[in-house]
Structure 1
Amino acid sequence: MRYAHAALALGLIACLLIVGCETEALPTQVTIEIAQTIAFITQNAPPAGFDQGVRFAPIDRNLERLPHWHTQLIIRFEGFLAGSTQPISGTLTAEIFSNQLSGERRVVLRAEGDAFAIAEGRNVEGVRIGNTFYFVDQNGLCSVVTDDPNRRRVAELTVGDLIGGVRLAQHTYGRKTERKMALWQYGFLPSDIELPLITPTQGGSISILSGDLWIAPSLNAVADYTLTLRLESALVPIFRGNQQLSGTLTITYSLLESGQLYNIAIPYGC
């Protein structure tokens, strides 16, 4: 038997070295499943320039290159003050309208819920027309902003200021059309997320429960971004200042429109 194995080995070596021993190659078999997978990848691949990863930090990066746009950001918290069993919740909504070329901008902020330590909802508004800034307070009173940087900051607020962005994301072959935009889906790692206004305290933590990112290559901009976080003893200054929070924080950002000229005027009363 040992000699038979040796003879077989020598025969195989001979076939590798001597052309006359070549065996006929078998054709590669392409299954229906493989063909369907290849077709799916080809049909759903993003355009050139968006197939090797994208970077949107801040998340509203490149909007300044669009002439007109309207975005919405919703940040919602449900949970507790750290060390308490009394539930609290709150929602901050920011809507931003921009006529980029003419330097016109309108930002509307709405805060609701006891997470803000307020009894009822409040709205404030900031408007910029050229180099003049206006502020409408929670009582609906309008004033021209001169020396107060906080009031001026409302009209200059960006989504990236509040929620940061994604340093790197890779396409996942998801594709859809919404709001007249062709969108591609991207995935990202927790380590690639920037969260400028959320800080864990000593012994606290921030965990990513879920996230989703859709890009509009035609605009080179983020169309939709959602993120759900689990907070343990974390600071979120827009909710309760320097008090620690534990619970669930949900972030939803959308580019609602682009290319439409908006009627941004001096607020009533100014």
Structure 2
Amino acid sequence: MNSTIASNSVELFTDGNQTKTRIKPIVTLSEVYSNSVPNGNIGECLDDLEEHVRLSVSKNGWAPPASSAFSNARGSWFELIVAATAWNYRIDRGVPEYHIVKMPNIKTYDFRSVYLSETQEMLDTLEMVLEQHNCVSQVSSNPDLLIINHKNIKSLVDSNYKISDLSIENIHNINLLYNNLQGKCPWDSVLAGIGLTTSLRPDRRNQFIHEGNIFKSLYAHLKMRYWNNTMNFQYHLASNVKHNQADEIAFRAATTHSIVNVNLIPERAVDGLHSLIKTDDIYAMFDNIIK
């Protein structure tokens, strides 16, 4: 970790008549971890990144960013720490046929674009039919991570090397890995989605239950279209805070489609809840999902 170099982790911007301070999360990561990757207690890693920003603001004599800006930055840092650890997990565990892909906001890229065109057309047709009947749709966001198992994936993506730092280049490769998979993944090669969060507030719980419900309903539709009832898409949630009994009870919620069809066995919208306190916990989570 390197927090002694001159920092470009913050910048000024104009908001109406006010000049405010903006955090640059990727630059912050690249400065603090220019010679290493995050390791150990994840909360302490996030605290180090936040302190680096606060020191930069203080040295410049600028007003500190809003608390919401730090919350958003910590969320972005957490996602990249997990994604960077996932990159090296594949190499350390010797599973190069798997890719754990960080997904952007759905406004930037719809995760369904990784599927083969045939599957995309099926999902487009579903959306069109839903829209035609009572103007309904399946509204959701992207999972933060996708786990993909593709026998030809090594020829699609050059990522079979470990990363030793969070340089701008390495972060760029992590963030844009999904671009290499567009239109190339069979529907049953996408094994799981993972939601990442730094908060387990009740409203955040509901968001992830909704996402798991939507993703699994899409797969229920695809299983019917492909006449393949053995495919089991999983959706997991991971946070960097310890979950409690109330969290565990909330995430037992069933998918809607599985409780209205007598031919289906009820299934959970969220298959697993993982507390990622240390970077070793990230490895344990992927060991649990990739069995």
Relative to the length of structure 2, the TM-score reads 0.24
- Greater percentage in helix: 2
Which is greater in Rg?
1
- Greater percentage in strand: 1
